[in-house]
Structure 1
């Protein structure tokens, strides 16, 4: 049963990562200007945030199963709409619909995993989920790049749509017996959304999600520039990104994933964010491609400790009645982080090295602040 949800998580992120190499050429093929091309790229993230937040509220009201079914079937349908994108403006509409529908899936999927996980294995299950995301990050761009070069960009979306429809059928067959609908008492115990933002652990999880993806946005923007400075091409950038993904996946699936249930998540969060910050500073100083592989492996290690820790923090700080909303905002912060990372460093007109230094220092500052807050909370408890 849980394997189906892991497959849904994989293909949801696979859908995201397959878009990266093909949206720009697809926009160009329908006559989009540079401005409209940039808008088409960003439109998905914008509408995805709307879908995430809506999914969170609906998951708590209707249960994760219904949202998973709706998300899979609607996303499959929205992917087929790319066949109708005859010009840039229709493409923008399709991108908006695609982002909204795809945003319904992740909060429901992670709520399903959290609500069906044993208390002493929540960190491990979060790590396994991270492994599927890592594999999607490695395989998605390569798959779409190869298939689009041999056929067309629209074919990639059609294949992904078929996968979504198939997952929808499997989910209907195997997950409806675990139909996790909210009980009637839920409506009596509902609390305002602002209560989530008053819970320190939830705010830390949201902060971790935002800055994790902020660094990803900077990495996607600045790494190709850094590689170009060293005299190499985009193929090398892809291999470097794959290195970080492979290291993260190994930590997620090897016995190291037991650490996520043995060590407090806030400690893993601070450790992972600090490691990512240090690795970005080292990347800025890297003078050869070979040393960049080592630094990207270090970044992947930090990522591997950060992602499960923020998931575990969120799970431990929420209940079955408000976990859907929490995951809705959690993945909205994911989307905001990606956009903020690339756009802020772009607005500041930073060089590749400058972007890595800025982001590395930012992550270290946030990690220190989280450590200080953790220490002050512990002092208050002991007082």
Structure 2
């Protein structure tokens, strides 16, 4: 017999109320009257653990019951008022019979897993190089450990895709989430450069297992006529991670430490591992999705639709690598404060999220992915060209906003194109290679532009030209696509 979410909330609420009374009525007098400091330390830790369970129970009940915000707000408030949990329990006992448990929307967990995977990546960006130098790494080693994550991530992506097709995405998700959470905790033990290199290899590899499995799981449990919109909404969580991750890690690392930042991300990973074990294991590929997949034109990983998706993934992140490398240098050369680079990147992320979450996301199920892909490439290429000519703050913000629109068009398009060009049986492997091209694109973007003898302006122009050329290839290769697929 399943426990009603409200009954679970009542149990954890009563425990939270009792632990609060023990803390206030026994532990604190023992500390301040009799000088026994350990009483507050021990009871406070126990109370903190119970409150965490209580908070999770509130979240679980809010999702499964889908009640108004008044109940969760009252539950949180009751936790800070002596005897508040007991009064709330009396109300919850009466209310329990009137609330039916709603079907759980598993997509929320998949979205959260995508968010976890990308916030794991984005929290590293502002702090990893400085953390490397703090443990004695040279400038060369610091740069090496930053790129090492993407390199080993690529290997994890490919292995994830192969294993996903063999054992299913759920098992790979569970392994990836749990091992990535463990790997994040290993940074606490890093005090030498060689230890950091070892942890980066482990971290990059195991985290590479997550994203291909997550996107395969989502694609295989979604109808073919809703893939574009769902992928666009998934992109919202990628964008949110890009906005929240760097700011969170930068602020928290300055007040605490880099390992503490990674510990916070690890806790999220452990929670998602538990939720996935409870809710995702029962989902299978629906008959409707299987039938749609079996009617697709090709069971090959080398049809032109897939190759275009791979190319789009590579150039999307190649462009991102160039932006990450050249934009701060461009802003600095113009004489502006370095903080402007961060706000410009945030602007691009916010615009992309708005396109993902607003009704504009319907376009990805109504327009052929090749067309929206070409539009995204053109907008991003044009933005790269315009950045090189932008010299005032307003123009930089406008161009980065345009870049955000292009990113928002390209990301769902290449995912939708991949889904439509693969069968469900090969989709895991296809996504594995797909996200391997993502990882390689980031490395190539910053490395290639750094190696070539370009000025900042020439680097932007070169990148913009490449994106526009690839957009032309996507638009004008319809006949070749038909010939390849047949």
The verdict on a shared fold, with TM-score over 0.5 as the criterion, is: yes
Distance 2:112 2:130 in 1: 29
Give 1:375 deviation, angstroms. 4.8
Distance 1:62 1:377 in 2: 32
Answer whether contact 2:157 2:436 (CA < 8 A) is retained: yes
Give 1:246 deviation, angstroms. 0.5
Task: Report what 1:79 is aligned to.
Answer: 184
SS of residue paired to 2:123: helix
Task: Report what 1:102 is aligned to.
Answer: 207
Does 2:124 align with 1:19?
Answer: yes
Distance 1:375 1:304 in 2: 27
- Which of 380, 383, 401 is matched with 1:279 structurally? 383
* Residues 315-367 of structure 1: CA deviation (Å, up to 9, x unaligned): 00111100000000000000000000000000013222111111001101111
Distance 2:135 2:284 in 1: 43
Q: Return 5+ residue gaps in structure 1 as ranges.
A: none
Q: TM-score of the superposition, structure 2-length normalised? A: 0.74
Task: Report what 1:358 is aligned to.
Answer: 462
Distance 1:41 1:349 in 2: 23
Does 2:194 align with 1:89?
Answer: yes
Answer whether contact 1:64 1:180 (CA < 8 A) is retained: no
- Which of 345, 348, 359 is matched with 1:241 structurally? 345
Task: Report what 2:400 is aligned to.
Answer: 296
Does 2:223 align with 1:115?
Answer: no
Distance 2:477 2:134 in 1: 51
Task: Report what 1:60 is aligned to.
Answer: 165
Q: Return 5+ residue gaps in structure 2 as ranges.
A: 1-105
Give 1:84 deviation, angstroms. 1.4
RMSD: 1.9
SS of residue paired to 2:422: coil
User: What is the aligned residue count?
Assistant: 371
Q: TM-score of the superposition, structure 1-length normalised? A: 0.94
Q: Which contiguous aligned blocks of 4+ residues in structure 1 show a shift greater than 4 angstroms? A: 375-378
Does 2:311 align with 1:229?
Answer: no
* Residues 155-214 of structure 1: CA deviation (Å, up to 9, x unaligned): 111111111001100111111121569xxx9xxx9xxxx9312x0000000000000000
Does 2:139 align with 1:31?
Answer: no
SS of residue paired to 2:396: helix
- Which of 33, 46, 49 is matched with 2:154 structurally? 49
Answer whether contact 2:300 2:422 (CA < 8 A) is retained: no
Does 2:278 align with 1:173?
Answer: yes
Distance 2:395 2:333 in 1: 14
Give 1:370 deviation, angstroms. 1.9
> Greater RCO between the two (CA within 8 Å, min separation 6)?
1
Distance 1:172 1:65 in 2: 9
SS of residue paired to 1:272: helix
Distance 1:76 1:228 in 2: 37
Distance 1:208 1:255 in 2: 24
Task: Report what 1:204 is aligned to.
Answer: 308
Answer whether contact 1:213 1:338 (CA < 8 A) is retained: yes
Q: Map of 1:124-135 to 2, 5 A cutoff?
A: 124-135=229-240
* Residues 137-172 of structure 1: CA deviation (Å, up to 9, x unaligned): 000000000000000111111111111001100111
Task: Report what 1:136 is aligned to.
Answer: 241
Give 1:233 deviation, angstroms. 2.4
Give 1:376 deviation, angstroms. 4.5
Task: Report what 2:17 is aligned to.
Answer: none
Answer whether contact 1:63 1:179 (CA < 8 A) is retained: no
Answer whether contact 2:305 2:481 (CA < 8 A) is retained: no
Task: Report what 2:365 is aligned to.
Answer: 261
Distance 2:333 2:481 in 1: 45
* Residues 50-73 of structure 1: CA deviation (Å, up to 9, x unaligned): 000000011001111101100000
Q: 362-371 vs 213-222, which deviates more? A: 362-371
SS of residue paired to 1:176: coil
